Amino acid sequence: MRPAPERRRELLDTAAEVFAAQGYDATTVRRIADAAGLLAGSLYHHFDSKESMLDEILSGFLDDLWTRYDGVLAAGLRPRETLEALVTASFREIDRHRAAVAIYQKESGQLRDQPRFGYLADAQRRFEHAWLRTLESGVAAGDFRTDLDVRLTYRFVRDTVWVAASWYRPGGQHSPEEIARQYLSMVLEGIALRNGRRTRAQQAHTPRTHEP
């Protein structure tokens, strides 16, 4: 028989997948119990309500995220290195808490007004402050362009990173670190060749045109 903490973790993982797939309001305790292979009444031996399960799922994700973020922000890195480390930390948490991230994206808007989930609004403000401060510091330090709209950039980076939870699956072709590297390459370097320069391989694949 599995220890109670381990079983509790398994049940939370199951509940997170069901919430992410069906939505919190549409999910019943019976549906979670069915997915976990339990009778609905047996689930109440571990949790007093589906709200308690959701609370533990979201707070656990945010606690882990901020443990990583606080470590990055306290490391004394340059702004560009801080940005790179925050993006990498974010993808590692998507890998670890994919379903919780999906729930947060779908449900936090309506949940944050409820007293029990007031910490979601606090987390959002804290999240925004950390990213904006990093971008502003980068502009001031010369790491980023001086004409950068930091708030627009923050929204772009935030959305492009966290939307990955909608398609990412742990154990897939690319590791969280590799995905972070590719994202950072696109954000920081762009996707167009600079100064119109092209590799020999690209030139060889360019169709030739003939003058009349």
Query: Using one digit for the tens of pLDDT, what is the confidence trace for 78-118?
Result: 999 999 999 999 999 999 999 999 999 999 999 988 999 99
Q: What angle do CA 168, 169, 175 make, to 5 degrees?
A: 80
Do 60 and 13 form a contact (C-beta atoms < 8 A)? no
Task: Provide the pLDDT confidence category of residue 209 given band limits of 50, 70 and 90.
Answer: very low
DSSP string over 126-142: HHHHHHHHHHHHHHHHT
| Tokens encoding 126 | 């804290």
Q: In which residue are the tokens 């119990």 written?
A: 33
Q: Which residues of 15-28 are buried (b: 16+ CB within 10 A; e: fewer)?
A: bbbbbbeeebeebe
pTM of the entire structure?
0.84
Beta carbons within 8 Å of 164's beta carbon, 6+ residues apart: 91, 94, 179
Query: Using one digit for the tens of pLDDT, what is the confidence trace for 20-49?
Result: 999 999 999 999 999 999 988 889 989 999
Query: Using one digit for the tens of pLDDT, what is the confidence trace for 54-83?
Result: 999 999 999 999 999 999 999 999 999 999
